[in-house]
Amino acid sequence: MDIAWSPQDQAFREEIRAFLDENLTDEIRESGRLMTSVYADHDRSMAWQRILNERGWAAPAWPRRHGGAEWSVAQRYIYSVERVRAGAPPVSPMGIQMCGPAIIGHGTEEQKAFYLPRMLSGEHFWCQGYSEPGAGSDLAALQMRAEEDGNDLICNGQKIWNTHADIANWGFFLVRTGKYDRPQKGITFLLIDMATPGVTVRPIISPSGEHIQNEIFLDNVRVPKTNVIGQIDQGWTVAKYLLEFERGGVAYAPELQVRLDAIEVAAGQVAGDVCDTLADDPAFATRIAAARIEIGALEIFEFRAMSAEARGESPGASASIMKIRGTELQQLMTELGLLVAGRYGMAYQPQAGCPGGPVSFPHGQGGFVGPREAAIAPLRYLNERAGTIYAGSNEIQRNILAKVLGL
């Protein structure tokens, strides 16, 4: 594996930097820098997606024939690094990074022609309907029914932990259309217009006070069979394909490095108990060094996964490894951030950040106490607790790895 950047890669990096410098407004840049979860402010994120789409860069991995940039694996990694360093917000992953690849890989030509352009433009904003109260990590246990009625499927059931379902106008769902010897059989991948009669969305408020998550109830929701991706009863194949993108389709190391750099800079401005600053404290410096080593190790693994993907190989088990280490290190960043925040980390100050959804318990009108990063630290800590659970809990990922290793 050659991890040296080619002259073409270096030229591409300069092109990305120039584009970011020219197109990132102060408002959009702020929304990326002051995120309190993995989701950016909706309006600013969509404004950034429109800018990217005008350049043809909204979907880096999609083929050009579907409106994507068709970047190489190396180019996508370079963009990820430069985006994070520049403070640009991420594009919502539900559509372009998850449902889009599923449609490209398993949809009909008519489905591609209808959904993909609207996904890129932002006309369609997507949510995911996978987990249920009794089927989260064990997703194959889902029970939401979809019974055939002529050219339609009649859907009844409940989904939970649905990101941005309150503002999404389309959702991709896993529904049970049959029962067989294995629970993975009889599941169908279905696209549902969220304005369809019988769809009800109720909020779930996070410990940080943000409304990003929801639960969805479907009561005799009639959906045309033309909205099925792949074949009826064969949706598990589509779901597994999509989960590889959800778990391992994004590099974690670039963001982690930027976050750790910011923590180290902030620690240099905080008085220490035994040294002039917290950054000079040997115990804290040891934790920073250990974190940097772990992030470096993850980056090397991501490079290996990139190399395999460039050869046309599936992410496979590497997606599980990246998901485990990436989310655990994200949580470590929030723990270090709280140490640096000190007493300011004890206050509830949601007004200091730029959350991914409305704050249900606002406090203050824009002012906050202490450094801004310190005020945001507890919000990030609370939100990142979910990282090792969503997209298949890390316990499930370890079970996958154990199966691959024959343990």
Residues taking part in catalysis = 246
Helix or strand run (H / E) with residue 93: helix 93-93
Q: Using the CB atoms, write b or e for 230-264: b if 16+ within 10 Å.
A: bebbbbbebbebbbbbbbbbbbbbbbbbbbbeebb
Measured between alpha carbons, how far is 194 from 165 in angstroms, rounded to an integer? 8
Query: How many other C-beta atoms can be found within 10 angstroms of the C-beta atom of residue 299?
Result: 19
Residues pairing with 250 in the sheet? none
Measured between alpha carbons, how far is 71 from 60 in angstroms, rounded to an integer? 6
User: And the tokens for 336?
Assistant: 């270090």
In contact, 192 and 221? CB cutoff 8 Å: yes
Q: What angle do CA 85, 87, 89 make, to 5 degrees?
A: 125
Q: What angle do CA 355, 96, 121 make, to 5 degrees?
A: 85
Q: Give 210-226 as a 3 state SS string.
A: EEEEEEEEEEEEEEEHH
The distance of Cα 310 from the centroid of its chain, to the nearest Å, equals: 22
Length of the chain in residues, anyone?
407
